[in-house]
Structure 1
């Protein structure tokens, strides 16, 4: 695995992959017909939210003027059960891409996610979707052992494995979270240490950055206790917790 500093540069790679995916792989993105990416706030008729209910100030990632929705997926989880995007309907959830033999950032990411899990342990409508980028090794049995090791006990936290190419397409195009094989780095794979946040209706959400655009992702490597890393990057787990709480209030 490459260094954390290199890891943060994958956000830029993700944007390039996003544009590539829009042009060449339109079918994998829900309701995408090709074109440019825009990042503006939306409260449009395309978002199914009860007008009389609570609506948070979190933004939507827009593609061609429409809020981006999680594409369909189907994988097997740590308990041998087939899990699809429909299993997360009506739930607020965090998305990550990882692998169990990751020697660097994955343990930190999952310790942070366990902390988030414990924070929202009383909420039946909160979950986590963890997709392995090394499905050849990370079988259902391996994922189950990993879940037990880290204290993953939320029934809505699914560690999923499946076809490698489908996983990579979901990461790089579906969620724009970089993942790929690289025999030249420690562990043999490289990926972003970022988390995506999904609302109850399946839309990608985030808070604004300093320029009024959606941040899109949340840094998953730095813990709340650390506050920042040696490169001066600040933690965003506390921000993610705040935004999860906002989405849980939405209808």
Structure 2
């Protein structure tokens, strides 16, 4: 397991988790829902206000921040273009000598499982945008044999990519001169719903974890779309 993934997975596993039906302040750990829905992961914001002289406490679930990056077809991908979609996100770079090839092999399984379902997208963010230009990402995606309308390989401002990874997805993503290839990143696959909530974190280097991701995507499809998926 990549050295960044194990540490980050332990951190994200102990963060506050909020259910859709939560109406009280969550405690540290996991709150399961009566409906059996996937939990919402992240750092919820606790907001207090006074209503008719009484203190009211609201929990605002963690959301992925706004972003806008170019994909391999020079198309801007952002929150608006993903409206009404669920997606799986990860971080990589095309010259990665360690876990990236294994991650892409496992992500191909996700791609194949949902290739005919337009509600499911995949976002792979390069952490080496200086090298991974639109042209490089297009060549990379073509070598994998995937459709750009389904699987977006994204590049953009380096600092924006790193901040999105570390603040929104809460995974390691950045330059590290001591790491193989000069960059360090998590091996996590992150499942995100239509409201930009993180609903699951999976080790993208492990077949068993990706098996669970595929199961959870189907569960989330049922939750979000029901018979209309």
Q: Normalising to structure 2: TM-score of the pair?
A: 0.80
CA-to-partner distance for each residue in 1:39-70, whole Å, 9 max, x for gaps?
2433258xxxxxxxxx7610112512322122
- Between the aligned partners of 2:7 and 2:209, the Cα distance in structure 1 is 17
Assess if the C-alpha contact under 8 Å between 2:86 and 2:194 holds in 1.
Answer: yes
Q: CA separation of 1:72/1:5 partners in 2, compared to 1, >3 Å: closer, same or farther?
A: closer
Contact 1:193 1:221 in 2 (8 A): yes
Question: Given the alignment, which residue of 207, 212, 217 partners 1:239?
Answer: 212
For 1:113-192, list aligned pairs within 5 A. Answer: 113-153=107-147, 155-192=149-186
Q: Secondary structure of 2:64's partner? A: coil
Name the CA shift for 1:168/1:5 in 2 (closer, same or farther; >3 Å): closer
> Is the strand fraction higher in 1 or 2?
2
CA distance in 2, matches of 1:219, 1:181: 21
Structure 1 residues 190 and 90, CA gap change in structure 2 (3 angstroms)? same
Identify the residue that residue 218 of structure 1 maps to in structure 2: 202
> Which among 6, 9, 16 is matched to residue 6 of structure 2?
9
Q: Distance in 1 between matches of 2:165 and 2:148?
A: 23
Q: Contact 1:10–1:192 (CA<8 Å) still a contact in 2?
A: no
Q: 1:193 aligns with which of 172, 187, 190?
A: 187
Task: Find 1:38's aligned residue among 6, 16, 32.
Answer: 16
SS at match of 1:155: coil
Match of 1:60 among 12, 37, 40: 40
Contact 1:93 1:127 in 2 (8 A): yes
| More relative contact order, 1 or 2 (CA 8 Å, 6+ apart) | 1
Gaps of 5+ in 2: 24-34, 46-58
Contact 1:128/1:158 (<8 A) preserved: yes
Alpha-carbon distance in 1 for matches of 2:10, 2:219:
29
Distance in 2 (alpha carbons) for counterparts of 1:75 and 1:194:
20
1:248 aligns with 2:221: yes
Unaligned residue ranges in structure 1 (runs of 5+):
16-36, 46-54, 207-216, 224-234
Q: Distance in 2 between matches of 1:61 and 1:237?
A: 18
**What is the deviation of 1:71?**
0.8
RMSD over aligned CA atoms reads 2.1
Q: What's the offset of the Cα at 1:165?
A: 0.5
